[in-house]
Amino acid sequence: MAKFLHPSLDDICLTEILSALSDPVRIRILKTMLDAQGCCSCTQAAPCPKIAKSTLSNHFRILREAGLIKTTKVGVENRSVVREQEINQKFPGLLKTILKFAD
Amino acid sequence: MAKFLHPSLDDICLTEILSALSDPVRIRILKTMLDAQGCCSCTQAAPCPKIAKSTLSNHFRILREAGLIKTTKVGVENRSVVREQEINQKFPGLLKTILKFAD
DNA sequence: TATTGTAGTACAGAATTATTGAACTATTGA
DNA sequence: TCAATAGTTCAATAATTCTGTACTACAATA
Protein backbone atom coordinates (compact mmCIF):
# COMPACT_ATOMS: atom_id res chain seq x y z
CA MET A 1 0.00 0.00 0.00
CA ALA A 2 1.40 3.36 -1.04
CA LYS A 3 2.12 5.75 1.75
CA PHE A 4 2.26 9.38 0.85
CA LEU A 5 5.09 11.30 2.42
CA HIS A 6 4.34 14.98 2.74
CA PRO A 7 7.18 17.18 3.95
CA SER A 8 6.51 19.43 6.92
CA LEU A 9 6.44 23.17 6.34
CA ASP A 10 9.96 23.41 7.79
CA ASP A 11 11.32 20.99 5.24
CA ILE A 12 9.81 22.71 2.22
CA CYS A 13 12.54 24.59 0.37
CA LEU A 14 12.47 27.15 -2.40
CA THR A 15 14.78 25.27 -4.75
CA GLU A 16 12.62 22.17 -4.76
CA ILE A 17 9.51 24.22 -5.36
CA LEU A 18 11.12 25.97 -8.33
CA SER A 19 12.42 22.67 -9.60
CA ALA A 20 8.96 21.14 -9.35
CA LEU A 21 7.43 24.11 -11.17
CA SER A 22 10.13 24.23 -13.84
CA ASP A 23 8.33 21.53 -15.80
CA PRO A 24 5.48 22.70 -18.04
CA VAL A 25 3.49 19.52 -17.35
CA ARG A 26 3.68 20.01 -13.59
CA ILE A 27 2.86 23.70 -13.68
CA ARG A 28 -0.20 22.88 -15.77
CA ILE A 29 -1.22 20.21 -13.27
CA LEU A 30 -0.93 22.69 -10.43
CA LYS A 31 -2.89 25.33 -12.31
CA THR A 32 -5.65 22.84 -13.09
CA MET A 33 -5.86 21.82 -9.45
CA LEU A 34 -6.15 25.41 -8.30
CA ASP A 35 -8.79 26.18 -10.90
CA ALA A 36 -10.74 23.13 -9.80
CA GLN A 37 -10.98 24.73 -6.37
CA GLY A 38 -10.48 21.48 -4.54
CA CYS A 39 -9.33 17.92 -4.82
CA CYS A 40 -8.37 16.39 -8.11
CA SER A 41 -7.61 12.84 -9.10
CA CYS A 42 -4.44 12.35 -11.09
CA THR A 43 -6.32 11.78 -14.33
CA GLN A 44 -8.51 14.84 -13.78
CA ALA A 45 -5.48 17.05 -13.36
CA ALA A 46 -3.55 15.44 -16.21
CA PRO A 47 -2.67 17.98 -18.88
CA CYS A 48 -3.05 15.56 -21.80
CA PRO A 49 -4.10 11.96 -22.31
CA LYS A 50 -0.95 11.03 -24.25
CA ILE A 51 1.31 11.04 -21.25
CA ALA A 52 2.22 7.64 -19.79
CA LYS A 53 0.51 7.06 -16.48
CA SER A 54 3.79 6.07 -14.83
CA THR A 55 5.19 9.43 -15.92
CA LEU A 56 2.12 11.20 -14.59
CA SER A 57 2.45 9.35 -11.30
CA ASN A 58 6.06 10.49 -11.13
CA HIS A 59 5.05 14.13 -11.72
CA PHE A 60 2.61 13.92 -8.82
CA ARG A 61 5.30 12.39 -6.63
CA ILE A 62 7.62 15.32 -7.42
CA LEU A 63 4.90 17.88 -6.64
CA ARG A 64 4.14 16.00 -3.43
CA GLU A 65 7.77 15.74 -2.32
CA ALA A 66 8.31 19.43 -3.03
CA GLY A 67 5.46 20.09 -0.60
CA LEU A 68 3.22 21.65 -3.21
CA ILE A 69 0.34 19.20 -2.99
CA LYS A 70 -1.24 16.92 -0.46
CA THR A 71 -2.53 13.56 -1.60
CA THR A 72 -4.97 11.25 0.09
CA LYS A 73 -6.41 8.03 -1.14
CA VAL A 74 -10.19 8.07 -1.47
CA GLY A 75 -11.50 4.76 -2.65
CA VAL A 76 -9.78 3.91 -5.86
CA GLU A 77 -8.54 7.41 -6.50
CA ASN A 78 -5.74 9.57 -5.21
CA ARG A 79 -7.15 12.97 -4.53
CA SER A 80 -4.77 15.89 -4.30
CA VAL A 81 -5.02 19.50 -3.20
CA VAL A 82 -2.55 22.32 -3.48
CA ARG A 83 -1.10 23.19 -0.06
CA GLU A 84 -1.84 26.80 -0.86
CA GLN A 85 -2.16 28.22 2.64
CA GLU A 86 0.96 26.52 3.94
CA ILE A 87 3.06 27.60 0.97
CA ASN A 88 1.74 31.14 1.35
CA GLN A 89 2.67 31.07 5.00
CA LYS A 90 6.26 30.16 4.26
CA PHE A 91 6.67 31.97 0.93
CA PRO A 92 4.08 34.76 0.83
CA GLY A 93 3.08 35.62 -2.71
CA LEU A 94 5.36 33.11 -4.39
CA LEU A 95 2.76 30.73 -5.78
CA LYS A 96 0.45 33.51 -6.90
CA THR A 97 3.26 35.40 -8.63
CA ILE A 98 4.57 32.36 -10.48
CA LEU A 99 1.18 31.02 -11.51
CA LYS A 100 0.08 34.45 -12.71
CA PHE A 101 2.58 34.08 -15.54
CA ALA A 102 1.91 30.41 -16.33
CA ASP A 103 0.39 29.90 -19.76
CA MET B 1 35.74 33.51 -30.33
CA ALA B 2 32.68 32.88 -28.19
CA LYS B 3 29.55 34.67 -29.25
CA PHE B 4 26.96 35.17 -26.58
CA LEU B 5 23.40 34.56 -27.65
CA HIS B 6 20.90 36.49 -25.57
CA PRO B 7 17.22 35.76 -26.20
CA SER B 8 14.93 38.67 -26.96
CA LEU B 9 12.31 39.60 -24.38
CA ASP B 10 9.67 37.85 -26.50
CA ASP B 11 11.54 34.58 -26.38
CA ILE B 12 12.03 34.55 -22.63
CA CYS B 13 9.62 32.09 -21.06
CA LEU B 14 8.60 31.38 -17.49
CA THR B 15 9.44 27.70 -17.54
CA GLU B 16 13.02 28.29 -18.57
CA ILE B 17 13.44 30.97 -15.93
CA LEU B 18 12.14 28.64 -13.22
CA SER B 19 14.30 25.85 -14.56
CA ALA B 20 17.36 28.09 -14.48
CA LEU B 21 16.58 29.18 -10.93
CA SER B 22 15.79 25.67 -9.72
CA ASP B 23 19.47 25.00 -9.18
CA PRO B 24 20.94 26.27 -5.90
CA VAL B 25 24.25 27.09 -7.56
CA ARG B 26 22.59 29.28 -10.18
CA ILE B 27 20.29 31.05 -7.74
CA ARG B 28 23.32 31.88 -5.62
CA ILE B 29 25.13 33.21 -8.67
CA LEU B 30 22.17 35.44 -9.52
CA LYS B 31 21.89 36.71 -5.96
CA THR B 32 25.60 37.51 -5.87
CA MET B 33 25.33 39.41 -9.12
CA LEU B 34 22.41 41.47 -7.87
CA ASP B 35 24.16 42.22 -4.59
CA ALA B 36 27.25 43.33 -6.51
CA GLN B 37 25.08 46.02 -8.11
CA GLY B 38 26.68 45.62 -11.50
CA CYS B 39 28.80 43.42 -13.67
CA CYS B 40 30.46 40.33 -12.35
CA SER B 41 33.02 38.01 -13.85
CA CYS B 42 32.21 34.33 -13.66
CA THR B 43 34.76 33.70 -10.93
CA GLN B 44 33.52 36.66 -8.90
CA ALA B 45 29.98 35.35 -8.98
CA ALA B 46 30.98 31.73 -8.38
CA PRO B 47 29.40 30.37 -5.24
CA CYS B 48 32.37 28.19 -4.28
CA PRO B 49 35.87 27.50 -5.56
CA LYS B 50 35.38 23.74 -5.67
CA ILE B 51 33.15 23.75 -8.69
CA ALA B 52 34.76 22.82 -12.01
CA LYS B 53 35.13 25.79 -14.32
CA SER B 54 33.45 23.93 -17.16
CA THR B 55 30.46 23.36 -14.89
CA LEU B 56 30.45 27.02 -13.89
CA SER B 57 30.63 28.02 -17.53
CA ASN B 58 27.65 25.78 -18.20
CA HIS B 59 25.64 27.39 -15.37
CA PHE B 60 26.30 30.81 -16.86
CA ARG B 61 25.22 29.55 -20.28
CA ILE B 62 21.93 28.31 -18.81
CA LEU B 63 21.30 31.63 -17.04
CA ARG B 64 22.14 33.43 -20.26
CA GLU B 65 19.93 31.26 -22.46
CA ALA B 66 17.04 31.63 -20.01
CA GLY B 67 17.40 35.37 -20.53
CA LEU B 68 18.32 36.09 -16.94
CA ILE B 69 21.75 37.58 -17.54
CA LYS B 70 23.61 39.47 -20.21
CA THR B 71 27.24 38.70 -20.81
CA THR B 72 29.88 40.73 -22.59
CA LYS B 73 33.55 40.08 -22.99
CA VAL B 74 35.75 42.75 -21.44
CA GLY B 75 39.39 42.01 -21.92
CA VAL B 76 40.10 38.59 -20.57
CA GLU B 77 36.91 38.42 -18.55
CA ASN B 78 33.26 37.74 -19.24
CA ARG B 79 31.26 40.29 -17.38
CA SER B 80 27.59 39.59 -16.71
CA VAL B 81 24.65 41.59 -15.43
CA VAL B 82 21.17 40.49 -14.45
CA ARG B 83 18.60 41.63 -17.04
CA GLU B 84 16.53 42.92 -14.15
CA GLN B 85 14.51 45.60 -15.89
CA GLU B 86 13.61 43.45 -18.87
CA ILE B 87 12.54 40.52 -16.69
CA ASN B 88 10.49 42.89 -14.55
CA GLN B 89 8.84 44.24 -17.67
CA LYS B 90 7.73 40.81 -18.80
CA PHE B 91 7.19 39.20 -15.39
CA PRO B 92 6.57 42.02 -12.88
CA GLY B 93 7.60 41.05 -9.38
CA LEU B 94 8.77 37.55 -10.28
CA LEU B 95 12.49 37.94 -9.71
CA LYS B 96 12.06 39.95 -6.55
CA THR B 97 9.58 37.48 -5.09
CA ILE B 98 11.73 34.46 -5.83
CA LEU B 99 15.01 35.96 -4.71
CA LYS B 100 13.44 37.24 -1.50
CA PHE B 101 13.20 33.64 -0.38
CA ALA B 102 16.59 32.48 -1.64
CA ASP B 103 18.94 31.45 1.17
C1' DT C 1 -16.68 -15.04 -3.03
C1' DA C 2 -14.66 -14.97 -7.36
C1' DT C 3 -14.27 -11.79 -11.28
C1' DT C 4 -13.67 -7.73 -13.82
C1' DG C 5 -12.61 -2.92 -14.12
C1' DT C 6 -10.39 1.32 -12.50
C1' DA C 7 -6.64 4.19 -10.46
C1' DG C 8 -2.36 4.42 -9.50
C1' DT C 9 2.57 2.68 -7.88
C1' DA C 10 7.13 0.10 -8.40
C1' DC C 11 10.69 -1.30 -11.08
C1' DA C 12 14.01 -1.79 -14.76
C1' DG C 13 15.80 -0.47 -19.11
C1' DA C 14 16.19 3.32 -22.59
C1' DA C 15 16.76 8.11 -23.41
C1' DT C 16 18.13 12.42 -21.91
C1' DT C 17 20.78 15.79 -19.20
C1' DA C 18 24.57 17.31 -15.95
C1' DT C 19 29.31 17.21 -14.43
C1' DT C 20 33.99 16.94 -15.10
C1' DG C 21 38.91 16.89 -16.88
C1' DA C 22 41.60 17.89 -20.82
C1' DA C 23 42.48 20.50 -24.68
C1' DC C 24 41.60 24.74 -26.76
C1' DT C 25 40.88 30.16 -27.80
C1' DA C 26 41.44 34.96 -26.59
C1' DT C 27 43.47 38.60 -24.12
C1' DT C 28 46.93 40.83 -21.18
C1' DG C 29 51.40 41.82 -19.35
C1' DA C 30 56.34 41.02 -18.71
C1' DT D 1 57.42 35.85 -27.71
C1' DC D 2 56.24 33.50 -23.62
C1' DA D 3 53.59 32.80 -19.59
C1' DA D 4 49.44 33.72 -17.05
C1' DT D 5 44.47 34.39 -16.73
C1' DA D 6 39.52 33.66 -17.94
C1' DG D 7 36.48 31.00 -20.09
C1' DT D 8 34.66 27.73 -23.79
C1' DT D 9 34.25 23.30 -26.21
C1' DC D 10 34.44 18.47 -26.40
C1' DA D 11 34.02 13.75 -25.06
C1' DA D 12 33.39 10.55 -21.43
C1' DT D 13 31.07 9.40 -17.35
C1' DA D 14 27.49 10.09 -13.77
C1' DA D 15 22.99 11.07 -12.61
C1' DT D 16 17.98 11.88 -13.91
C1' DT D 17 13.87 11.31 -16.32
C1' DC D 18 10.54 8.74 -19.17
C1' DT D 19 8.09 4.80 -20.32
C1' DG D 20 6.28 -0.06 -20.66
C1' DT D 21 5.25 -3.93 -17.93
C1' DA D 22 3.89 -5.96 -13.92
C1' DC D 23 1.91 -5.22 -9.75
C1' DT D 24 -1.38 -3.60 -5.59
C1' DA D 25 -5.63 -1.72 -3.78
C1' DC D 26 -10.35 -0.80 -3.96
C1' DA D 27 -15.17 -1.12 -5.95
C1' DA D 28 -18.95 -3.11 -8.25
C1' DT D 29 -21.40 -6.92 -10.00
C1' DA D 30 -22.72 -11.59 -10.79
The confidence score (pLDDT) of residue A46 equals: 75
Band (pLDDT 50/70/90 cuts) for residue A3 is low
B53 touches strand D (CB under 7 A): yes
Q: Hey, what's the torsion of the CAs at B20, B22, B28, B32, to 10 degrees?
A: 40
Say if residue A85's pLDDT is above 90: yes
| Tens of pLDDT, residues A31-84 | 989 888 777 788 888 766 678 889 999 999 999 999 999 999 888 888 899 999
As a whole number of angstroms, the distance between CA A27 and CA B49 comes to 34
Residue B78 and residue B60 in contact, taking contact as beta carbons nearer than 8 Å: yes
Cα B67 to chain centroid, rounded = 8
Cβ-based neighbour number of residue B60 at 10 Å: 21
The confidence score (pLDDT) of residue B38 equals: 73
The confidence score (pLDDT) of residue A7 equals: 92
Cα–Cα nearest to B25, from B49, B41, B8: B49
Nearest nucleotide relative to B77: CA against C1': D6
As a whole number of angstroms, the distance between CA A13 and CA A10 comes to 8
Q: What is the mean pLDDT of residues B80-102?
A: 96
Say if residue B6's pLDDT is above 80: yes
Band (pLDDT 50/70/90 cuts) for residue A1 is very low
Structural domains of chain A in order of their starting residue, each with its CATH number: 10-98 (1.10.10.10)
| Tens of pLDDT, residues A11-25 | 999 999 999 999 989
The confidence score (pLDDT) of residue B1 equals: 44
Interface test with A, best of B9, B18, B87, B98 (most A CBs within 10 A): B18
Answer whether A38 touches B (CB < 8 Å). Answer: no
Closest approach of A14 to chain B, Cα-based (Å)? 7
Spanning CA of B50 to C1' of C20, the rounded length in angstroms is 12
Closest approach of A76 to chain B, Cα-based (Å)? 33
Answer whether B9 touches A (CB < 8 Å). Answer: no
| Tens of pLDDT, residues B37-87 | 778 888 888 777 788 999 999 999 999 999 999 999 998 899 999 999 999
The confidence score (pLDDT) of residue B69 equals: 95
From chain A, the residues in CB contact with B27 under 8 A are 14-15, 18
Answer whether A93 touches B (CB < 8 Å). Answer: yes
The confidence score (pLDDT) of residue A2 equals: 46
> Which residues are within 8 A (CB) of A75 and not within 5 positions of it... i.e. 6 or more apart?
none
Band (pLDDT 50/70/90 cuts) for residue B4 is confident
